[in-house]
Amino acid sequence: MTIRTTVWGENVHEKKSKIVAELYPKGMHNAIADFLNHAEEIEASSVTLQDPEHGLTADKLASTDVLIWWGHAAHGEVSDEIVERVADNVYGGMGLIVLHSGHFSKIFKKLMGAPCNLTWREAGERERLWVTSRQHPIARGLPDHFELEQEEMYGEPFGVPEPLETVFVSWFQGGEIFRSGLTYRRGAGSVFYFRPGHEAYPTYYDDNVQIVLTNAVRWAHNPAERTLNVHDAPNIVVEEALEPITARGPKLHEDGEEGYR
Amino acid sequence: MTIRTTVWGENVHEKKSKIVAELYPKGMHNAIADFLNHAEEIEASSVTLQDPEHGLTADKLASTDVLIWWGHAAHGEVSDEIVERVADNVYGGMGLIVLHSGHFSKIFKKLMGAPCNLTWREAGERERLWVTSRQHPIARGLPDHFELEQEEMYGEPFGVPEPLETVFVSWFQGGEIFRSGLTYRRGAGSVFYFRPGHEAYPTYYDDNVQIVLTNAVRWAHNPAERTLNVHDAPNIVVEEALEPITARGPKLHEDGEEGYR
Amino acid sequence: MTIRTTVWGENVHEKKSKIVAELYPKGMHNAIADFLNHAEEIEASSVTLQDPEHGLTADKLASTDVLIWWGHAAHGEVSDEIVERVADNVYGGMGLIVLHSGHFSKIFKKLMGAPCNLTWREAGERERLWVTSRQHPIARGLPDHFELEQEEMYGEPFGVPEPLETVFVSWFQGGEIFRSGLTYRRGAGSVFYFRPGHEAYPTYYDDNVQIVLTNAVRWAHNPAERTLNVHDAPNIVVEEALEPITARGPKLHEDGEEGYR
Amino acid sequence: MTIRTTVWGENVHEKKSKIVAELYPKGMHNAIADFLNHAEEIEASSVTLQDPEHGLTADKLASTDVLIWWGHAAHGEVSDEIVERVADNVYGGMGLIVLHSGHFSKIFKKLMGAPCNLTWREAGERERLWVTSRQHPIARGLPDHFELEQEEMYGEPFGVPEPLETVFVSWFQGGEIFRSGLTYRRGAGSVFYFRPGHEAYPTYYDDNVQIVLTNAVRWAHNPAERTLNVHDAPNIVVEEALEPITARGPKLHEDGEEGYR
């Protein structure tokens, strides 16, 4: 079984910043797709903000099992229509992995229903990620903790809903902590937020980060057929009730009509 | 301590439908506010869609501890700006109780980040609500189950995120079940969804329903001061780090600048 | 990858009750193991209460990826020592699926930390299971609801902790509902409770029930290596701290000593 | 409304260790009860391991709204019978706050159904607690973080079930993090685990710790009447079914009999 994975990259800093361009000469999205393609059963491709429809056409999403999202400088340039399209695919069963600064992306804020804010500092300080759910599928093969020698700090309170599970919590040299790996389900879609990944540092070349993301792709994959019409709210008429009933009392709706939205 | 409660009523069917007008001559919002005003410590008022700014001015929300929302026919007429304002107050600590057809209101869908869809049937059938979390603050004083002789059916799957707690599940005569009482937290705000309340039936005159809503107002009340600036994401500069650190490595941001959104 | 599944059967009613003996001539445990063996990648065997060590030797558990538990009349005859052994394997990563009357088994009560009580009625009434988490891995391939024409009723309140996810809720002909499919994690082990399965009815021959249990085995399988020493609480001495610190202040413990239990 | 709070103290180190005796001359339990008694509506008393029935007679528990538990050196000396009694009161609605080394107490392990293990180091290092659920009732009146200059370290992975809510996460000077404030519900009882409180340090004199515990007592208080018979599993006979049904099919049980346990 192949897990068709699409890495969405904003691809802005790679062009504007010499630091990022040198670190990720093919772009962060391709760096991520590259190591995923070394994993068994995963087949990863990448698209960017600059592609037509940001690379997220209806066809592309329909053939994407897991979407990975990295954005930062250009959240506002992502079209609302495409955000809705991505959300509908998540509700229908597409997995979604949101990375780092993607906490402020339109798609993540929409799915969370919350501000998704935090505190931050770019000082190249040490981050140490601790596993809080030992042997969670996303933590498989990891030690109880691992370090990233240079990362941007994100601090709590992190304005997200209580997750299904907290998989990682980060320690920062400057004194903060952050819930770094959080799982959610939205409709049939599994959602994972993973904190590390500042574009000025070589985070996506780190072995443990690559293990986390490879695990996360497998975890987020829902092999069931994609559910369509994810907003449907069908009227079940009396004659089709599973147990025989007779309509009674006052009535505002006609049988089989569409409800109000 | 007084819990300042605002009941928001759409107030459309009360005017268009003779059935509803006769059942709730002062409007559903006032019927709800009335029984709440009999509870100790609760002080309830009502506003409607037709009021300027839908009755939800910045001042009104600032002085509302718990907002109750009933809407059905006119979800689309609620202004997006006011939905944002309500959401920001929830994030800041205002309690929110969403009733029945409010599952498709803009504010509920926004806070859930999910389709919030379901199946439905208007046949005046019997609904029996079962307590699934015995002695939960919202179920206080209730028997293990209670009945509403005539209600609209809502059926699963209900397209909402997994709740913090499932407090009630409904049995329907026609063969469906529905998770009828669900709790969430969004920011500092507690959110409760309660299923019953079709406008063609006398649901809000039912003793047990009144107990649930009175309990829910108390449960949803956050006595802490309302948090403002709920979207802030402050940059913590190196000099103000809680543990002494030295900035190192490459840098994309200037100290103290606002991050990208 | 093979999922080594062990079905634990109490095997008491099969011997005492003609009804059960005729329905499950090879025992319920073998009926369950049989259909699981038709699923790809699953290799199921069965053991019973009457086997030495109830069939749950250290070796057997070490080579079991997912354990399925059906017990009813003889919960009290299961040895406490073996319950501890099973629990430790769950904490270490073994999946556990508890069926029907197993809600009162020692192992389920231990893992839940709660009374696990409910109401019940044996009247051969209709049960209809509704999916509340569409396309959940455990609900894969199922319609939104399915029926068991004759089942024992279990009613709420069900005295269990709030689950990670509610996957199924049952409707009963006599007027009750029940949260029929609940997921938990305990340590590295995934736990699923599934309600149907009264021994007087042919529940385990039902196609949809077989789909649920086959899905559940896959869902509960943790491919990571079994964690041993699941109760360890190591003392990290100052010299081995990840960040350099100096011990200071008063001290009750000697370096490297075992803590109190 | 008065919240009757009982502080259970092991009271062992206070007698054996000069350090602890000097720090808490009246015992830790009395130090905690003392500051709680300064809070409005809270009326706190203390009992110890050495009291008859450990001070936890049926009467004492029946008149306790919230029980606070501090134990460390003598977990094994607590009688199993009394642990059951405490658990039954929690299921019935008594709040329970477990402190620090109480993570390994019999009552906490029983209610969690999990090993509750962790890593630890006694080095008087700095702990900084971060609020992860802003304005949660238990965090009311606190800044986003506060420090304890000297504490024992507890590190992840913490072997507990996923909580309802994570309220605090701790940063430690030596490089670890820990989920320091976790909420659970067991039956009608609310349970809060709070990490700080090593007996060699003046933690319970800290203003912020006192705010947390005062808030936690209010949060854990369930004003509903205590549920008795928390293990009951009543047989609902056919004649008393809420919807008329006729018994059919084979039957193993007699009407009204007690089920198996």
pLDDT per residue as tens digits for the range C2-47:
999 999 999 999 999 999 999 999 999 999 999 999 999 999 999 9
Residues 3-62, chain A: which have Cβ within 8 Å of B?
13, 17, 19-20
Q: What pLDDT is attached to residue A9?
A: 98
**Does residue A161 sit at the D interface (CB-CB below 8 Å)?**
no
Q: How far is B228 from chain D (nearest CA, A)?
A: 12
pLDDT at residue D6 greater than cutoff 90: yes
**Does residue A134 sit at the C interface (CB-CB below 8 Å)?**
yes
Q: How far is C233 from chain D (nearest CA, A)?
A: 5
Q: Hey, how many other C-beta atoms are within 10 angstroms of the C-beta on C57? A: 15
Judging contacts by C-beta atoms under 8 Å, the chain C residues touching residue B125 are none
**Does residue B228 sit at the A interface (CB-CB below 8 Å)?**
no
The helix-helix angle for A28-36 and A207-220 (nearest 10°) equals: 70
Please state, in angstroms and rounded to a whole number, the distance separating the CA atoms of residues D180 and D159. Answer: 13
> What angle is formed at CA C68 by the lines to CA C62 and CA C69, rounded to 5 degrees?
110
Chain C residue closest to A147 (CA)?
Answer: C242
Q: What pLDDT is attached to residue A257?
A: 75
Question: pLDDT digit string (tens) for B96-146?
Answer: 999 999 999 999 999 999 999 999 999 999 999 999 999 999 999 999 999
pLDDT at residue D254 greater than cutoff 80: no
Task: Please count the residue pairs, one from chain C and one from chain D, whose beta carbons lie less than 8 angstroms apart.
Answer: 201
Q: What pLDDT is attached to residue B184?
A: 98
**Does residue B132 sit at the D interface (CB-CB below 8 Å)?**
no
Please state, in angstroms and rounded to a whole number, the distance separating the CA atoms of residues A159 and A161. Answer: 7
Are residues B186 and A113, on separate chains, in Cβ contact within 8 Å?
Answer: yes
pLDDT at residue C249 greater than cutoff 90: no
Question: D139 near D168, Cβ under 8 Å?
Answer: yes
Are residues A162 and D159, on separate chains, in Cβ contact within 8 Å?
Answer: no
Residue of A122, A125, A186 best to disrupt the B interface, most CBs of B under 10 A: A122
Judging contacts by C-beta atoms under 8 Å, the chain D residues touching residue C111 are 113-114
Please state, in angstroms and rounded to a whole number, the distance separating the CA atoms of residues C204 and C215. Answer: 14
Question: B96 near B183, Cβ under 8 Å?
Answer: no
**Does residue A132 sit at the C interface (CB-CB below 8 Å)?**
no
How does C117-129 read in b/e, with b if 16+ C-beta sit within 10 Å?
bbbbbbbbbbbbb
- DSSP assignment string, chain A: --EEEEEEE--SHHHH-HHHHHHSTT-HHHHHHHHHTTSTTEEEEEEETTSGGGG--HHHHHT-SEEEEE-STTGGGS-HHHHHHHHHHHHHT-EEEEEGGGGGSHHHHHHHTS----EEEEEEEEEEEEESSTT-GGGTT--SEEEEEEEEEEESPP-SPPPSEEEEEEEETTS-EEEEEEEEEETTEEEEEE----TTS-GGG-HHHHHHHHHHHHHH---SPPP--TT---B--GGG-SS-----S---S-TT-----
**Does residue B202 sit at the C interface (CB-CB below 8 Å)?**
no
pLDDT at residue D197 greater than cutoff 80: yes
Which tokens in the block code for residue A181? 């790996």
Nearest alpha carbon to residue D194 among D179, D205, D177: D179
Q: How far is B188 from chain A (nearest CA, A)?
A: 9
Please state, in angstroms and rounded to a whole number, the distance separating the CA atoms of residues C56 and C1. Answer: 23
ipTM reported for the complex, 2 dp: 0.96
Of D128, D164, D187, the CB nearest to B134: D187
pLDDT band at D1 (very low <50, low <70, confident <90, very high): confident
Q: What pLDDT is attached to residue B180?
A: 98
Question: D161 near D86, Cβ under 8 Å?
Answer: no
**Does residue A178 sit at the B interface (CB-CB below 8 Å)?**
no
Which tokens in the block code for residue C14? 């099969």
pLDDT band at D153 (very low <50, low <70, confident <90, very high): very high
Q: How far is A129 from chain D (nearest CA, A)?
A: 9
Mean pLDDT across D217-230? 96
Are residues A174 and B245, on separate chains, in Cβ contact within 8 Å?
Answer: yes
Question: A32 near A204, Cβ under 8 Å?
Answer: yes
Q: How far is D134 from chain A (nearest CA, A)?
A: 7
Q: What pLDDT is attached to residue A260?
A: 82
- How confident is chain A (261 residues) per 10-residue block, as mean pLDDT? 96 92 96 98 98 98 98 97 98 98 98 98 97 96 97 98 98 98 98 97 98 98 95 94 93 79 79
3-state percent helix, strand, coil for chain B, nearest multiple of 5: 30, 30, 40
**Does residue B115 sit at the A interface (CB-CB below 8 Å)?**
yes
Are residues B17 and A237, on separate chains, in Cβ contact within 8 Å?
Answer: no
Q: What pLDDT is attached to residue C184?
A: 98
Are residues A140 and C223, on separate chains, in Cβ contact within 8 Å?
Answer: yes
Instruction: Give the neighbours of chain B: at least 3 Cβ pairs within 8 Å.
Output: A, C, D
Nearest alpha carbon to residue C183 among C146, C246, C224, C138: C138
Judging contacts by C-beta atoms under 8 Å, the chain D residues touching residue C233 are 104, 117-120
Are residues D104 and C260, on separate chains, in Cβ contact within 8 Å?
Answer: yes
Q: How far is D184 from chain A (nearest CA, A)?
A: 13
Are residues B171 and C166, on separate chains, in Cβ contact within 8 Å?
Answer: no
Question: pLDDT digit string (tens) for D231-248?
Answer: 999 999 999 999 999 999
Question: A127 near A172, Cβ under 8 Å?
Answer: yes
Nearest alpha carbon to residue D185 among D58, D94, D83: D94
Mean pLDDT across D194-204? 97
pLDDT at residue C258 greater than cutoff 90: no
Residue D177 exposure: Cα atoms within 13 Å on the Cβ side:
27
Q: Bridge partners of A184?
A: A191
pLDDT at residue B258 greater than cutoff 80: no
Q: Which domains, from first to last, does chain D contain?
A: 3-220 (3.40.50.880)
Are residues B140 and D223, on separate chains, in Cβ contact within 8 Å?
Answer: yes
pLDDT band at C191 (very low <50, low <70, confident <90, very high): very high
Instruction: Give the neighbours of chain D: at least 3 Cβ pairs within 8 Å.
Output: A, B, C
pLDDT band at D48 (very low <50, low <70, confident <90, very high): very high
Task: Please count the residue pairs, one from chain A and one from chain C, whose beta carbons lie less than 8 angstroms apart.
Answer: 45
pLDDT at residue D89 greater than cutoff 90: yes
Chain B residue closest to C147 (CA)?
Answer: B175
Please state, in angstroms and rounded to a whole number, the distance separating the CA atoms of residues C225 and A144. Answer: 14
**Does residue A176 sit at the D interface (CB-CB below 8 Å)?**
yes
Site of tokens 């340090």: D201
DSSP B107: H
